[in-house]
Every structure is written in C-alpha cells, then in structure tokens.
Amino acid sequence: MSEFSEYPDEETLVAIRDCDIFKTGIMPLVNLVIDNWWSADQLVKMRGKNVIYLELHTGGWSGNEELIDALQMTKGFWGFCWLKSTRGGHYYFKIDKKLWEEGMKKIKEMEARKKKCENCVHYIEASESWDNPSCDVGMIPDCPDNGYTHFKKRL
C-alpha cells in the first residue's frame, strides 16, 4: 500500500501480476495480497492443512477489487486455485499444499526425476540423482536402457 492511502500502489499491483507461482509457490503471492488487503483481519479467511481454502471478500472497497483484478492476471493462479466467486465481491480459492509451498517448478522437477523404461513395468524414481535410480518391485540386472537396473515386463 502506498504510505498516503489504504489503496495498493502500482508497484504492488505489478508485483502481483508478474508473480511466477510456478517458481516461487503461491504463499509469497497470497502474503503480498493479504498484506495489502484493506481490513484483512475481517475480510480474509484462510483454513486447511493439506489443502488450503482462501476466502477474499472485497467489502466493496475498490482497492481490494484492484488486488482481485491483479490476481486474475497472475499467470496460473486463477486457473489452478479459483474455486468460485459470488455476487458482492466474494472470492473462494482452493490451493494444494505442494503448490502453496513449492510451486509447480518443484512438482515438475519431481516428475522429471521419473523415467519410463521400455523394459520396465513401472517408472523408476531416481533417489538422489540419476546415478542411483531405485525401484521397489523386482529388479533385473543390467537393463539396456542407460545401464540402469529396472523391472522386467511381465508378458
């Protein structure tokens, strides 16, 4: 908020619009919005552990509506988290805890560590690095794919 009013300044709105939730997670974005929300103690509710439910109520305040407009332009936030809106400036969001804390970048990194082998029934989960993959069903030695040890397909 600017120091002379209770409205968010342009720098804050740009920071919200440009926030990359895929890299930083959603927590920094939501904290920025709440820090600039007029009457947040009465108009913002958050609950949940594995799934976070966030309610933003504008209270008719145009500064809060500007924050909602900026949130709608934030890449990915509205599509991944928006649950519903109701008349009167009430917005409801549902946020997965992994996305809340780590962002899609971390989720994509975890998925990228899995590799499907043509000779394997399951994906292989690399434990610390690609040098040490592990599988927990039944190993066969010297799988031809990159020299890793994989499961043999059952025919």
Closest Cα partner for 91 from 21, 37, 11?
A: 37
Element (H, E) at 26: none
Q: Which domain holds residue 148?
A: 113-155
Q: Do residue 83 and residue 144 come from a single domain?
A: no
Q: Do residue 59 and residue 25 come from a single domain?
A: yes
Q: Do residue 120 and residue 87 come from a single domain?
A: no
pLDDT value of position 35: 95
Q: Do residue 20 and residue 89 come from a single domain?
A: yes
Give me the tens of pLDDT residue by residue for the chain, a chain 155 residues long: 544 467 999 999 999 999 988 888 889 999 999 999 999 999 999 999 889 999 999 999 999 999 999 999 998 899 889 999 999 999 999 998 877 777 766 666 656 655 554 444 444 444 433 444 444 444 444 444 444 444 444 43
Q: Compute φ and ψ for 122, nearest 5 degrees.
A: -115, 170
Q: Do residue 93 and residue 131 come from a single domain?
A: no
pLDDT value of position 18: 95
Q: Do residue 75 and residue 134 come from a single domain?
A: no
CA 62 to mean position of chain CA atoms: 27
Q: Do residue 138 and residue 84 come from a single domain?
A: no
Total number of domains in the chain: 2
What token pair was written down for 143? Answer: 């799988």
Q: Does 15 reside within a domain?
A: yes
pLDDT value of position 146: 42
Q: How many CB atoms lie within 10 A of CB 46?
A: 13
* Model confidence pTM above 0.85: no
Beta bridge partners, 71, equal none
pLDDT value of position 56: 97
What token pair was written down for 54? Answer: 């966030």
Beta bridge partners, 54, equal 46, 93
DSSP result, 96-140: EHHHHHTHHHHHHHHHHTEEE-TT-SSEEEESSSTTSEE-SS--B
**Helix 62-73 / helix 27-35 crossing angle, nearest 10 deg:** 160
Q: Does 131 reside within a domain?
A: yes
pLDDT value of position 134: 46
